[in-house]
Amino acid sequence: MTFSNLVPSLGEALAERGYAEPTPVQAAVLQSEALGRDLVVSAQTGSGKTVAFGLAIAGELLTDGENQPNSQLPRALVIAPTRELAMQVSRELSWLYGKAGLRIATCVGGMDPSKERRTLRSGPAIVVGTPGRLRDHLERGALDLSALAAVVLDEADEMLDMGFREDLEEILDATPDGRRTLLFSATMPRPIVALAKRYQTDALRISLVGEDRGHGDIEYQAMTVSPSEIENAVVNLLRFHEAETAILFCATRDNVRHLHATLQERGFAVVALSGEHSQSERNQALQALRDRRVRVCVATDVAARGIDLPTLSLVVHVEIPRDAETLQHRSGRTGRAGKKGTAVLIVPYPRRRRVETMLRSAKINASWIDVPSPEAIRVKDRERLMAMLLAPVDYDDEDRALARQLMEQRSAEDIAAALVHAHRQTMPQPEEMIANTPEAQRAAQKERHRPGFEDTVWFRIAVGRNHNAEPRWILPLLCRRGHITRNEIGAIRIARDETHFQIPRTIADKFSDALQRTGREESDEDRVLIEPSESGPREQARDNRKRNGPGPRERYKPRPTHDAPPRGPFKGRKKGPGNTGGKPGGRKRPKKG
């Protein structure tokens, strides 16, 4: 199929942009059975759907290839979930309908609303906007939808995920009954089906998403790592792929901030996108990615909605998506318009089963691989460096003169080695990873010690979880009683009724002497028993079980909330209503529900 049956103005615009034949979604909406009907289209972002719905509504906008001049009111409305996507759609429709003389108004948050109202009064044929800003103009009387012939909901599933249901319903309720409604959505959850049923009539369903629900141009990979090595895995992934543009997904803005700072410290050119960034900061970050001044973006799910980066080839799920729909939305940022992309899930060991279940429910076949090793990264670096140096380049006279001067002072091998060294100096160093098995992880953790903690002595303190013991209370107590610093305290293991901690053997005697001197104070905390433990916490627990049998079931104790004032761990509990003073099971559990 070709674009030969289109009106001349659209055909010329497409030819100038290099469109020789339609993509599958464009061909589908141009079929005779789709003309003039409501449509429900399942198509991935980046499949050419903006041009597709632009062509699909041409019959409502053009007569015999010419602009319909009979109305000063909008005849088509396009609703997009984010400012960036709305502006991208507006740019696409501008060149598509530019030769036909149609004017387009863009209404999005962060722009001057009074200027948008003046544009709406000038009589645009197409209005593109975000739900919140369009609803605002509608309620103020600046947007008149009475002459509307077509409505397009782009990425409708994302709009519902972002909480725009009420805005969409108010806008659609203000449109004429006879208008066409075109609904484009990458997925078809129940809310989308309900929306289509309410606002569409005899809609034609067009599905261009395969049965695997994953984008055909996306290669899915998953890798298990120790929870403590997730950041190292991110570093090695970025170094191995050296993607032109990569996006890293985190669950919260705090995690975005932390990972962004970590990668900056490692030497990566990186920007961050989250809810705490202003629109101006967001625009600057996206522009830096488009200009290729930076290559990595760390973002939350919501902040990345509607982002379209043509050079994005790598998506890393640093934190596991909450469900299959989120996985698909995140991964769909890459593999667009026929380009290949890679989506990688970094999976902590304990959560592998959950991820396997998610992938099965999404019908996505992911390859389970190891984190790229430093050796594999160095091999890739050599291949990329050789390709760069051997690529044809036009050298000017000044370059050659400097080369001759270098050749007089150094050998060719020394000059090449200096060039390789200079190239490597600009690249962050890869990380050594623990072998990709739980057994190797446990063995490696035993071998890893903080400097100075290779030989330690276990001590015991007679408080535990039953006494609200926490490191933030235990550490200051040990420092004060033992006359040591926080850096001289090793691992802390808090059990139900006791806590074990490590002290380097070199200072253990000094620590014990200080405990004896400070244990004579009058305060409750200073009288808490702290003594050496002949065995570690696991051995001690096993000995207790052998001697006393299984312990009683732990009683229910609600933990203090973050908003409540902190409660010290060593306060004795008084006997009273609902508290038997230490007898297990004497306190009733709260009723569920």
Confidence band, pLDDT 50/70/90 cuts, at residue 276:
confident
User: Where are the domain boundaries for CATH 3.30.70.330 in the chain?
Assistant: 449-548
Residue with the two structure tokens 């800003």 = 133
User: Where are the domain boundaries for CATH 3.40.50.300 in the chain?
Assistant: 8-207, 218-375
Full-model pTM: 0.59
pLDDT at position 579 over 50: no
Residues in the chain, overall count: 593
Span 466-490, pLDDT tens digits:
888 888 788 888 998 899 988 889 8
Span 120-142, pLDDT tens digits:
999 899 999 999 999 999 999 99
pLDDT recorded at residue 66: 52
Distances from the Cα of 5 to the Cα of 102, 140, 321, 412, angstroms: 20, 41, 44, 62
Question: 146 is written with which tokens?
Answer: 């009475």
Question: 327 is written with which tokens?
Answer: 């996985």
Separation between Cα atoms, residue 422 and residue 426, nearest integer Å: 7
488-495 average pLDDT score: 87
Span 13-31, pLDDT tens digits:
998 888 888 888 888 998 8
Would you call 150 helix, strand, or coil by DSSP? strand
Protein fold of 8-207? Rossmann fold (3.40.50)
The one-letter amino acid at 145: L
Question: 292 is written with which tokens?
Answer: 């290729």
Q: What does R_g of the chain's alpha carbons equal in angstroms?
A: 32
Distances from the Cα of 284 to the Cα of 34, 128, 289, 591, angstroms: 40, 22, 9, 52
Lowest mean per-residue pLDDT among 155-164, 377-386, 573-582: 573-582
Confidence band, pLDDT 50/70/90 cuts, at residue 536:
confident
Query: Mind spelling out the 3-state secondary structure of 273-303?
Result: ECCCCCHHHHHHHHHHHHCCCCCEEEEECCC
Would you call 457 helix, strand, or coil by DSSP? strand
pLDDT at position 446 over 70: no
580-588 average pLDDT score: 44
CATH class of 218-375: alpha beta
Separation between Cα atoms, residue 106 and residue 102, nearest integer Å: 13
Of 510, 502, 494, 489, the C-alpha closest to 456 is: 502
pLDDT recorded at residue 469: 82
355-379 average pLDDT score: 91
| Residue 334, φ and ψ in degrees, nearest 5 | -115, 180
Lowest mean per-residue pLDDT among 365-374, 407-416, 428-437, 554-563: 554-563
Output the average pLDDT for the chain: 82
Span 197-256, pLDDT tens digits:
899 988 999 887 654 444 567 899 999 998 888 999 999 999 999 999 999 999 998 999
pLDDT recorded at residue 1: 56
The DSSP call for residue 494 is E
Sheet holding 245-250, edge to edge: 270-273, 296-300, 245-250, 312-317, 341-348, 218-225, 367-368
pLDDT recorded at residue 584: 42
CATH node for 449-548: 3.30.70.330
Residue with more model confidence, 588 or 223: 223
The DSSP call for residue 144 is -
pLDDT recorded at residue 85: 86
The DSSP call for residue 429 is P
pLDDT recorded at residue 440: 56
The DSSP call for residue 176 is -
pLDDT at position 304 over 80: no
Separation between Cα atoms, residue 490 and residue 155, nearest integer Å: 52
